[in-house]
Structure 1
């Protein structure tokens, strides 16, 4: 009962202490025009999720094998990489691009995910869906649930491979958001940046060897993903990512006949005009308070924007005398605003408190290695994990 009571007042109306950063008289940079040959395009910073460029970004269009970005992340989050996936009659000989799996063949989910993303195997997509979702329909349900959970407003999935189908679509903005989400997963990151992968072949004396279809990995300095796509109705589709100076960007084009060049131009634009800036450093003191910042905060600003940032310190009510303190030093959060729009939050802790690491999902087991410690509940879960589950 007392835990419920404490939780209630922690999430109650917060006491606001406002600390406004000075606004520079310097105007924000006037950005040059960016154009592509695409029917729709988007560019996003992975760390912050900020949309840096969008053209017809919410148009609902066919996306071909870009679908497999969702297939991969759903399989990674729900599947066991070590378990074998058996190729059914439905998966065997699936039309379109293939990794040429044999009927009844078994391959670990991990290896099949490489075949899915490097060679765009429709047979692999179908086998993965049936294995993880129990059926293709069950897996498609998981895909649409994931789309809902991460806020994809202009997406609906009808299959795991991306072959043209009624009711199967997404948008450039949604695909940028989905990919930025997926790139926070270490297994997904490793797969999509791989240029060549070998896997055991139970039917032949030689191993499978897959070369990544994504030419951006070889054409663009710093490229590290993600997926190509093509059908006769969707035309050429591409999602690429690249990292420079610690900043990762995602570019998306749908129906673009010059996508390799357009993606290079889009990524150059993002790195040049929206460099990632560090506003707060984990462990630094909060001016005027006996508090420290609980996590590092970075954001891509155009020239002049950082000077217009406003910070608001929101404190949780103090623990009543005689009541147990289960906050583990968490005292509130700093809310960060740019031109009146909230762009992020960072937790603040009492000086001397242990500052937990951010949440990291273990790709091999599917469990959380750390809890989300930006909230009371997350901090409590993390401490209990440390106390009682040391050998998990």
Structure 2
């Protein structure tokens, strides 16, 4: 009986430790365990979307003002930057952190997004939601629609600010995925890395001045985002990002009393043990074929993993080419497979073909299998989308 109890204890301990170790395949180098003080944590490479570390990463928890990451990206993608945002009575009286907007005050959406992300203004969050969604409820619908689109299976939003509410939650893994997606947007990236922002103040003789609450921007070399959060029920929450040697990482902790130190430790860990490597470069010839690759492809590898990578060339059949109206030289794709799992694909073109300028790689969006931009359908889709956005 005693031996059986010990065996059960060892098995339980192994399961617990498995939830706290890095998400990686076996490698030639022993990667040390990473521990934080967080209730849940995640670390992700932005370029590839690879999850490098996760501890209780799918637990559904309160996220406080980390919510505003979703608020910002939805506003950027749906907002009308030509119309000023007007502060309603509902926005003016919003509880919690504030940038002290006045009732009836008007401000550009862009400036209000800075107030939202740097100072975590709940008044700004409400004003933005009403401006973009027509109402808070309408905007929350867009937030949940975006969460579904991005495959955030452990997230649901009830408001744009992050105030504690029933049915308002996310997970460390989902927040890492959402932030990696958002950081591919140039405006979002510029906002969250800004340490100080000034904006016109129509009510006073001086400008607004917003100092970023995210101390990581000052404490950690290469830090370039993202958002702090706190409520009495969620406790301290933080999403940070940093870029070194061309590699950007996102770290997430939920309910962490030592988050500044934990984030520095997590980011150091990612840069050291999962450096970003370039696998192929746009225009590079495919050995043995009259083909070239269309995109540069990079991926973070632990020591020993790159040697196990398989590159599989898949050529499209003439029937498929005809069906997809591929008339710009697209001939197939190279699939990158690591330990039996496909980690990415790169289109290949007939040598001498025009290689379309791809949109910046967004691993979260790529997972949605978008229409390839070089096809006629892809071109038409892009045109219609642009026309629609210009009219709304």
Tell me, yes or no, whether TM beats 0.5. Answer: yes
Report what 2:19 is aligned to: none
How far has the Cα of 1:382 moved from its partner? 9.0
Distance 1:321 1:204 in 2: 63
1:91-130 to structure 2, matched below 5 A, reads: 91-130=91-130
Alpha-carbon contact 1:241-1:250 (below 8 Å) kept: yes
Report what 1:218 is aligned to: 218
Alpha carbons of structure 1 residues 148 and 382: separation in structure 2 relative to 1, 3 Å: closer
How far has the Cα of 1:335 moved from its partner? 1.0
How far has the Cα of 1:332 moved from its partner? 1.1
How far has the Cα of 1:317 moved from its partner? 1.6
Alpha carbons of structure 1 residues 221 and 379: separation in structure 2 relative to 1, 3 Å: same
Distance 1:321 1:136 in 2: 46
How far has the Cα of 1:277 moved from its partner? 0.3
Distance 2:324 2:157 in 1: 48
How far has the Cα of 1:315 moved from its partner? 1.3
How far has the Cα of 1:75 moved from its partner? 0.1
Alpha-carbon contact 1:358-1:372 (below 8 Å) kept: no
Distance 1:285 1:52 in 2: 31
Report what 1:356 is aligned to: 356
Structure with the bigger RCO (C-alpha within 8 Å, sep 6+) is: 1
Distance 1:258 1:290 in 2: 55
Local SS of the residue matching 2:331: strand
Local SS of the residue matching 1:65: helix
How far has the Cα of 1:376 moved from its partner? 2.6
How far has the Cα of 1:379 moved from its partner? 5.6
1:122-149 per-residue CA deviation (whole Å, 9 max, x = no partner) reads 0000000000000000000000000000
1:56-135 to structure 2, matched below 5 A, reads: 56-135=56-135
**Between structures 1 and 2, the one with greater helix share:** 2
Local SS of the residue matching 2:335: strand
Report what 2:253 is aligned to: 253
Local SS of the residue matching 2:72: helix
How far has the Cα of 1:82 moved from its partner? 3.4
Asked if 1:342 corresponds to 2:350, the answer is: no
Distance 1:378 1:195 in 2: 42
Alpha-carbon contact 1:312-1:335 (below 8 Å) kept: yes
Distance 1:119 1:189 in 2: 16
Alpha carbons of structure 1 residues 27 and 119: separation in structure 2 relative to 1, 3 Å: closer
How far has the Cα of 1:37 moved from its partner? 0.3
Distance 1:235 1:219 in 2: 21
Asked if 1:376 corresponds to 2:389, the answer is: no
Gaps (5+ residues) in structure 2? 1-25, 362-369, 385-392
TM-score normalized by the length of structure 2: 0.86
TM-score normalized by the length of structure 1: 0.86
Alpha-carbon contact 2:97-2:122 (below 8 Å) kept: yes
Aligned length: 353
Report what 2:318 is aligned to: 318
Alpha carbons of structure 1 residues 36 and 323: separation in structure 2 relative to 1, 3 Å: closer
How far has the Cα of 1:112 moved from its partner? 0.2
What RMSD, in angstroms, separates the aligned Cα atoms of the two structures? 2.4
